Amino acid sequence: MAQVRLSGIGKTYPDGTSAVAGLDLDIAEGEFLVLVGPSGCGKTTALRMVAGLEEITSGTLTIGERVVNRTPARDRDVAMVFQSYALYPHLSVRDNIAFGLQLRKLPKREIKQRVEAVAETLGLTEHLDRRPRNLSGGQRQRVAMGRAIVRQPQAFLMDEPLSNLDAKLRVQMRAEISRLQRDLGVTTVYVTHDQVEAMTLGDRVAVLKKGVLQQVAPPQELYNRPANLFVAGFIGSPSMNLFQARIEADGPGARLELGGQRLAVPGALLNERPHLRDYLGGEIAVGIRPEDMDDADLGGADGGAVLTSTTDLVEALGAELLVHFRLSAPPVVTEDTKELARDAGADQVDADAPDTDTIARFSPRSQTA
Ligand code: ATP
């Protein structure tokens, strides 16, 4: 395993598309780094440059101690797992896994031993003589992993390896990849557009937008301290509610004016986050995570700030309810108030302790509680 370092890496395609710009990433030995971002943000291009499948336009790529900008893919000692698995249909599972070792002309006995050990780890032993077409999607995915693992490369590069699996299998394979990577301790760069995968797999997660790195941090830090509004809105499902607001001084504290309503900011909070004072009298964006809101009418206020809202939609997901609501509507109070977690109508939402560190400039979006 090895450290992988991207310094100022950029890619401009011949048609002038700038897919990746000035990307700096230091991936430590044995680290699991996830590259995440919306479709077209450049994550696959970045990974393919590390793999040697795409030419690097600018910057320096180092794997271990070597600068590998001009090193062909086969000499980089990295193993890539593709979304499509890229298995050879005419070869058995055994030969698919063995392929890279055969190319390197390793002794037959060693190949057999290594292939069988990997098959054992991945629960493929009884399928070794089958062809890929006779395997389930999950089993094919394991063969693709097996082919990467058996080479004992310096780094694994994975491009959305789970996206062809159904939801249940994806969760299962996600846990397997996590366990395998921990056991093998191989430096891994993993590309996904799925932020849940990113959060659960990554030691650190790098968020890209339009080819530009927005933030790289451990998952909890991304969640609790997003560097900007893009990261705040991208990480978390359902996503963070972002409101445009004014913040005005009010006695020892302040008040937020949003959606035609007022929300008190206690003096203690201002003292704890003194930089908030810089924004007094100005426009800010306020971010509130859906799980930080409760239904005040159902006893959820708990001394927190209360906003009046109109419920648009309630989605029951079993363990939780998603309540979509509007703040800007005039408050409506009806007899149904206490039933509102199940019914559309007027509602009160407790916005306890909004994380004021998510403040930035942004326009209001639809709200979800
Ligand atoms: P997705 O999740 O949809 O696969 P991505 O984040 O992996 O997206 P890339 O495939 O790296 O994004 O593409 C980044 C940008 O580069 C996109 O605007 C894409 O259209 C463009 N692009 C990709 N390949 C080429 C190419 N061969 N020639 C020109 N532009 C390209």
Q: Give residue-wise pLDDT tens across range 78-92.
A: 999 988 888 999 999
Reduced to 3 states (helix: H, G, I; strand: E, B; else coil), residue 204 is strand
- Ligand 1 pocket test target in 44, 159, 212 with most atoms within 8 Å of CB: 44
For 15-29, the pLDDT digits (tens) are 999 999 999 999 999
> Which atom in ligand 1 lies closest to the alpha carbon of residue 193?
2
Q: What are the CA-CA distances from residue 55 to residues 37, 59, 110 (Å)? A: 21, 11, 34
| Structure-token match 């703040």, residue found | 327
Lowest mean pLDDT among 44-58, 69-83, 212-226, 335-349: 335-349
**Complex confidence, ipTM:** 0.97
Distance, CA 45 to ligand 1 centroid (Å)? 6
Mean pLDDT of 103-131: 93
φ/ψ region of 22 (left if φ > 0, alpha if ψ in -120 to 50, else beta) reads left
- CATH architecture of the region 4-234: 3-Layer(aba) Sandwich (3.40)
Model pTM?
A: 0.83
Instruction: Domain ranges for the chain, please list them.
Output: 4-234, 241-368
- Ligand 1 pocket test target in 43, 80, 192, 212 with most atoms within 8 Å of CB: 43
In the chain, % of residues over pLDDT 70: 86
State how far the Cα of 335 lies from the Cα of 325, in Å rounded to an integer: 18
Does the structure show a pLDDT above 60 at 324? yes
- CB distance 39 to ligand 1 below 6 Å: yes
Can you give the pLDDT at residue 254?
92
Residues 6+ apart with CB under 8 A from 85: 132, 140, 141, 143, 144, 161, 164
State how far the Cα of 122 lies from the Cα of 14, in Å rounded to an integer: 41
Can you give the pLDDT at residue 50?
97
Can you give the pLDDT at residue 241?
85
DSSP 281-341: TEEEEEEE-GGGEEEGGGTT-TTS-EEEEEEEEEEE-SS-EEEEEESSSPP---GGGGGTT
> Which atom in ligand 1 lies closest to the alpha carbon of residue 46?
11
Structure tokens at 20: 């990746």
Identify residue 92 by its one-letter amino acid code. Answer: S
Distance, CA 120 to ligand 1 centroid (Å)? 37
Give the number of C-alpha atoms closer than 13 A to the C-alpha of residue 202, restricted to the C-beta side.
Answer: 28
DSSP 172-187: HHHHHHHHHHHHHT-E
Q: Which residue, 120, 102, 119, is CA-closest to 111? A: 102
Can you give the pLDDT at residue 269?
86
Nearest CA to ligand 1 atom 2: 39
State how far the Cα of 78 lies from the Cα of 75, in Å rounded to an integer: 8
Distance, CA 348 to ligand 1 centroid (Å)? 44
Reduced to 3 states (helix: H, G, I; strand: E, B; else coil), residue 34 is strand
Distance, CA 331 to ligand 1 centroid (Å)? 46
- CB distance 43 to ligand 1 below 6 Å: yes
Q: How confident is the model at residue 356 (pLDDT cuts 50, 70, 90)?
A: very low
> Which atom in ligand 1 lies closest to the alpha carbon of residue 45?
11
First to last CA, the chain: 44
Reduced to 3 states (helix: H, G, I; strand: E, B; else coil), residue 236 is coil
Nearest CA to ligand 1 atom 18: 40
State how far the Cα of 131 lies from the Cα of 89, in Å rounded to an integer: 6
Q: Which residue, 257, 241, 262, 245, is CA-closest to 324? A: 241
DSSP state of 360: B
Does the structure show a pLDDT above 80 at 246? yes
Mean pLDDT of 330-354: 36
Structure tokens at 104: 């390197």
Can you give the pLDDT at residue 237?
82
Cβ neighbours, 10 Å, residue 299: 10
Does the structure show a pLDDT above 60 at 195? yes
